[in-house]
Structures are given as structure tokens and as C-alpha cells.
């Protein structure tokens, strides 16, 4: 599974970071960083939560 961020949409609302801190973090410039591009299947539940909570609908999962 692969995590995709639509950079045209992401505005650093940080909600994905709360849902799945293993995969997302904010850098010092307030930009979203994806720490693991192909995360392990065990993180799927948290990643789906992150995708669903993004108020800009900027995240998606590709299998």
C-alpha cells in the first residue's frame, strides 16, 4: 500500500499526524512529511482514519 498526498490541497491541518504519527509529521516549515511511503499493512486502520479525517481530502491510499 502506498500513501499519496495531493500537495495542491494539503494546508497543514495536522489531523493526519494525530491519526497516524508513525507515517505523518510536520517539518519546521509547517509542511507535511510522509515518513514511510509504503507503510506496513498493520497501519492500514490508522491510515484510513487519517485519510477520512483530512478536511481538505488531500490524502489517498493506493494498493
Residue of 50, 63, 45, 46 whose CA lies nearest to 5: 50
Residue of 8, 7, 61 whose CA lies nearest to 23: 61
Kindly identify the residues of this chain, within the stretch 8-47, that bind another protein according to CB under 8 A.
Answer: 8-9, 11-14, 26, 30
Asked if 56 contacts 8 with a C-beta cutoff of 8 angstroms, the reply is: no
Number of residues this chain uses to bind another protein (CB under 8 A): 13
Among 38, 41, 55, 63, binds another protein (CB under 8 A): 55
Is residue 4 part of the contact set for another protein (CB under 8 A)? no
Q: Which residues are at the interface with another protein (CB under 8 A)?
A: 8-9, 11-14, 26, 30, 52-53, 55-57
Amino acid at each position: 500500500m502506498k500513501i499519496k498526498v495531493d500537495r495542491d490541497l494539503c494546508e497543514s491541518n495536522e489531523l493526519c499526524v494525530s491519526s497516524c504519527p508513525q507515517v505523518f509529521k510536520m517539518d519546521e516549515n509547517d509542511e507535511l512529511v510522509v515518513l514511510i511511503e509504503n507503510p506496513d499493512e498493520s497501519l492500514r486502520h490508522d491510515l484510513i482514519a487519517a485519510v477520512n479525517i483530512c478536511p481538505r481530502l488531500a490524502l489517498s491510499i493506493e494498493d
